[in-house]
Structure 1
Amino acid sequence: MRNKLVEFKHVSFRYGDDQPWVLKDCSFCIYENEWVAIIGHNGSGKSTIAKLMNGLLFPQEGEIYINGQLVNDTSIWNIRKDVGMVFQNPDNQFVGTTVQDDVAFGMENRGFAREDMLKRIEQCLHAVGMEAYRLTEPHRLSGGQKQRVAIASVLAISPKILILDEATSMLDPKGRQEILSTVADVQQQHALSLITITHDLNEVTQSERVIVMNEGEVWNEATPRDIFKEKTALRKIGLDVPFVALLTDELREQHIQIDNEPLNHEELLEELWTLHSKM
């Protein structure tokens, strides 16, 4: 059984005493080596959850544990060794004049030995396919390349948890797919827990588990396949469902019997091919 890496216990949060609650009595767990997608409409509390995990914010009520350690003022620097974040706009994370300087920054702050830093820079840039750009100025990179460098910079400090907070939202579809492929490979190579906070349904379908937020509360958590069975309920809380799920419903209305819930085009084609072979 996998160990818990993130645990929210009855967490509530608001941005000021006179403000409405952004999170209300939230409880959930995320386990080691797990890919979890957190989705919800704008204002549902998704990004606040990410900031609470990293100690950028603290809850007014409830407790948060990262790798068994309570998140508070005393533990915050230890917590941030375990939790790495990549934000929507990578330009906000760059501090170095070259790609390798940026990857080195977090390690320098933590007192890594120079020999270890050089080795990690090479390894992390290789992991995201950016080793050829190590002497490039970050502002000269494309959006997708910048996100790859941001991921490499986080990987360099060896976190147990990698959070992508809308990290693909500014990219075109090809760039999004490249970053998703990169993070999937990185998760396997580095045995990370991966948390993606996203509106991109392609990211959601690739995850192991989905936590759906609605008006600051955990509305549901299940596998992507089970979540997207609830098409009508999802629409009621302002969320989309994958095109393949809609197409599957249309086919069923035309009396084409599809037994399972395909998540992508390949699975739908497999269902149709299986049905055809039985005829």
Structure 2
Amino acid sequence: MKLVNYNLKVGNKTLLENINLSFKSNVINHILGSNGAGKSSFAKSCVGMLKYEGKISGNSGAILIGSGSNVPSEFTIDDLLELLKKRFEPQKVKGLYDLLKLNTVSGKLQIKKMSDGQKQKIKLLAFLSEDPKVIILDEFTNALDKNSALDLYHFFNEYNKMHDVVIINITHNLSDLEYMEGKYYYICNRSITEVETKEEIINLYVRGE
């Protein structure tokens, strides 16, 4: 996914200005920055939820997955699995289902009775069955317990190896960087800058520069 002369303004505030940048596939692109820097607004613009100036290429069919739930709470896992297999290629849906380890959870369990980690897995099953080429995660591991987060880190590391996909991970959770190797970007002063190392971006984030 490529940004060319990209500018983002929300209300009277310019959040990002004259950005020229490419996010690579088959790597997890982590974006960090202070509150109010424009991370979530940037994510929304990439999927057409906010207007911007300039050009974004390679984002056709991009999806945005946040920390909240988007799947009907009355559904069971079996309900959702049946629905997805009718809409998408059944073998791909089953492959995702297994990779997410949902086969270890009762198919009769309603989504509203699941843990936060299980709900995030259900959301991934629903969204990724469509086989998107750009996946934007916005605080996806926010408020998850450590074991649930570790499950998702393992999933994304494996999924990234298996699919030609651009993954952009917007996060405040430094554990994301520890368990998912990738490229690192920092939003500050209306710019998105690539940072060479994990240690460097953590230092920038902690100092809030």
C-alpha spacing 1:100/1:188, structure 2 compared with 1 (3 Å): farther
CA distance in 2, matches of 1:23, 1:104: 42
Q: Secondary structure at the match of 2:121?
A: helix
Q: Which is strand-richer, 1 or 2? A: 2
State the distance in 2 between where 1:104 and 1:128 align. Answer: 16
Contact 1:103 1:149 (8 Å CA) reproduced:
no
Of 89, 92, 112 in structure 2, the residue corresponding to residue 120 of structure 1 is 92
Bigger-Rg structure (1/2):
1
Residues paired across the two proteins, number: 206
- 1:23 counterpart residue number: 16
Structure with the largest fraction of helix: 1
Q: State yes or no: 1:48 paired with 2:27.
A: no
Question: CA distance change for structure 1 residues 10 and 122 in 2, over 3 Å: closer, same or farther?
Answer: same
Query: What's the counterpart of residue 85 of structure 1?
Result: 64
Does the 8 A contact of 1:100 with 1:121 survive in 2?
A: no
Contact 2:88 2:129 in 1 (8 A): no
Q: CA RMSD in A?
A: 2.5
Counterpart of 1:208 in structure 2 is 182
Q: Would you say the 8 A contact 1:34–1:193 is kept in 2?
A: yes
Please point out which of 25, 34, 45 is paired with 1:32. Answer: 25
Q: Does the 8 Å CA contact 1:7/1:27 hold for their aligned counterparts?
A: yes
Distance 1:179 1:62, change over 3 A: same
Alignment counterpart, residue 71 of structure 2, candidates 90, 94, 98? 94
Bigger relative contact order, structure 1 or 2, given CA contacts below 8 A and separation 6+?
Answer: 2
Deviation by residue 1:8-50 (Cα, 9 ceiling, x = unmatched): 112112223xx21122222211112121100001111111121
Instruction: From the superposition, tell whether residues 163 and 142 of structure 1 become closer, same or farther in structure 2 (CA, over 3 Å).
Output: same
Residue of structure 2 aligned with 1:65, choices 38, 54, 57: 57
Query: What code does the residue aligned with 2:27 have?
Result: E
User: Residue 17 of structure 2 aligns to which amino acid in structure 1?
Assistant: K
Task: State which of 237, 248, 252 in structure 1 corresponds to 2:208.
Answer: 237
Q: Following the alignment from structure 1 to structure 2, what is the Cα–Cα distance between the partners of residues 103 and 215?
A: 44
Which deviations, in whole Å up to 9, do the C-alpha atoms of 1:100-146 show, x marking residues without a partner?
A: 444666x6xxxxx8385443332221121113444421111101111
Of 139, 144, 157, which aligns to 2:112?
Answer: 139
Q: Which moved more, 1:155-164 or 1:203-212?
A: 203-212
Distance of aligned partners of 1:223 and 1:21 in 2 relative to their CA distance in 1, 3 Å threshold: same
Contact residue 124 and residue 153 of structure 1 kept, 8 A: no
Q: Which residue of 2 aligns with 1:11?
A: 6
Verify the 8 A CA contact 1:43 1:215 in the aligned structure 2.
Answer: no
1:159/1:134 CA distance change after superposition, 3 Å? farther
Compared with structure 1, are the counterparts of its residues 104 and 11 closer, same or farther at alpha carbon in structure 2 (3 Å cutoff)? farther
Equivalences for residues 171-182 of structure 1 within 5 A: 171-182=144-155
1:164 aligned to which of 126, 137, 140 = 137
Separation (CA, whole Å) in 2 of partners of 1:45 and 1:103:
35
Mark the CA change 1:203 to 1:235 in structure 2 (over 3 Å): closer, same or farther. closer
- Structure 2 gaps, min length 5: none
Q: C-alpha separation between the residues in 2 aligned to 1:189 and 1:144?
A: 22
Within a 5 Å distance, the mapping from 1:187-266 to structure 2 comes to 187-205=160-178, 206-218=180-192, 220-225=193-198, 227-228=200-201, 231=203, 234-237=205-208
Q: Distance in 1 between matches of 2:133 and 2:188?
A: 27
Identity of paired residues, percent? 20
TM-score, normalised relative to structure 2: 0.85
